[in-house]
Structure 1
Amino acid sequence: MILASNSPRRKEILENFGFSLEIKTKNIEEISDEKEIIKKVEDIARKKVMAVAMDNPNEFVIGADTVVVIDNKILGKPKSEKDIYEMLHLLSGRTHQVITSFSFINISKNIDIKDSQISDVSFKNISDEEIKWYIDTKEPFDKAGSYGIQGKGSYFVEKIDGDFFSVMGFPIGKFVRTLANIDISLEEIKKL
């Protein structure tokens, strides 16, 4: 199976479940004309996967997109330390949503699936000193919402209502259940 993502977290989650992966990505503009946030994230995930699937029409291609949402606003990856401060101040002491959408395509088999998992994540109150400490770890720079739940960013998390792996970057449980719906069994996963 081809993973249309350079995310080490997605690769780890899928390989830990038993998928054998080849990484292939294409640079696409991560924009969507969709208005609703979930549809927008699903559209971007599908565009990432379709760009790779077009060059590999007989292969199964999987990919995803993860965003952090608060006050109906998407928080993407930070571009600067200032972005990290602003995002973490916004998330401090509040509950936000993490939406991970996945797309699974095999053009020759006429498979084109997209779906999403939404999780609520509650943060403790975060001080400026804690934000500075976190920036110094370099961890928040490539993470949606400026934090990674699987690393030192876990320090900020008080509660998760949803799927931990989805917050980490890929809803493996929902994806595997989706495969079962199209008659791909747990035993067949190794062969994809």
Structure 2
Amino acid sequence: MLILASASAIRAKLLREAGVAFGVRPPSLDESAVKSTLHAQGVALEDFAGALAEAKALDVSGAVPGALVLGCDQTLLCDDRLFDKPRDLAEARENLLFLRGKTHQLICGAVLAQNGRPVWHHVTRATLHVRDFSEAFLEAYLKSEGSEILSSVGCYRLEGRGSQLFDAVDGDFFTVLGLPLIALLSALRERAIVPA
């Protein structure tokens, strides 16, 4: 049995559409506290996604003995700054203005845990080149997307109107969506969770 340790609608949709049977149990950990601890320990910003994914998987794995638990996290790095999901549309506007005309990295971590220990760890990276969009475009984009983008660390859904923000995207599409699906499916096949 696979359990997704996430409340992410897009991750659940990707697994469902790939034909993976799973349950959902969001973790109960305080992500801000985990990030503070990682900072205090001197963990590189590039390693936060994998560490957070593992923390989420372990948090849920301890509560469901025997189950295979998938924890995921995605971080955005630009100019040595680590971004969090925006609290509101005003912060989303600020973040998008900061990213405008720049290149940023999306780092996606996924960890499978079982019986309170990690059994698979995978981190991928995508590089996204944001175009120098106009203020008028930004206002129209925010109006059309609304609160939907608040669930995305980058304030965009690449599978939707967010694709208009970019000049180029280098890397795996699923990494941008927050789940390294192809690598995960391979790991699930090895564990007979999905058919070989």
TM-score (normalizing by structure 1): 0.88
The residue number in structure 1 matching 2:99 is 91
Between the aligned partners of 2:187 and 2:54, the Cα distance in structure 1 is: 16
The residue number in structure 1 matching 2:176 is 167
State the 1:81 CA deviation.
Answer: 2.4
**Percent identity (aligned):** 24
Give ranges in structure 1 of 5+ residues lacking alignment: none
- Deviation per CA, 1:25-75, whole angstroms, max 9, x where unpaired? 132111233321232221111111111111111101112011211011111
The residue number in structure 2 matching 1:23 is 24
- 1:115 has 2:122 as partner: yes
**Pairwise mapping of residues 27-176 of structure 1 onto structure 2 (< 5 A)?**
27-30=28-31, 31-32=34-35, 33-34=37-38, 35-107=43-115, 111-136=118-143, 137-138=145-146, 139-176=148-185
State the 1:173 CA deviation.
Answer: 1.4
State the 1:121 CA deviation.
Answer: 0.8
Give ranges in structure 2 of 5+ residues lacking alignment: none
Q: Quick check: 1:149–1:157 contact (8 Å CA) kept in 2?
A: no
TM-score (normalizing by structure 2): 0.86
| C-alpha RMSD of the superposition | 1.8
Runs (4 or more) in structure 1 with deviation over 3 Å come to: 177-180
- Deviation per CA, 1:134-184, whole angstroms, max 9, x where unpaired? 22121321110211211211111221111111101101112234456xx33
- Number of aligned positions between the proteins: 185
Letter in 1 for 2:57: V
